[in-house]
Amino acid sequence: MISLEDCLAMCGLSEAEVQAIAEHEHIPEIAAAGLAQYLLREAHGLERIRDMICDDIRAAAERGDEKHVRELAGVLKEFLHNHPDVHPPAAGMSDQPDTV
């Protein structure tokens, strides 16, 4: 039987990045790990993951959850660091929580 930890190890993203996808898509983490693995192989998949994280940041900011905004900003920063081919988010979205 394959565990969540096995799926996380095989998907190519960190646990926090997979959790952000799960949050965005409203799916269990194990399904998000599978989606992550798929997206990493698709054209523009990295940009889609980046956009999911940005959407999560916006949603957290809209509900006033500043702690989660900071956590997700860290996830976005980690994602962009680990995938340098992905451009930072468009104007109006920053990986700095105080500018969201």
d(CA 25, CA 89): 19
Mean pLDDT of 91-99: 46
Q: Which domain holds residue 14?
A: 4-99
For the full predicted model, state whether its pTM sits above 0.75. Answer: yes
- Count CB atoms within 10 A of the CB of residue 90: 8
The pLDDT score that the predictor gives to residue 93 is 55
Token pair listed for 43: 């054209």
- Domains identified in the chain, total number: 1
Label residue 92 by pLDDT band (50, 70, 90): low
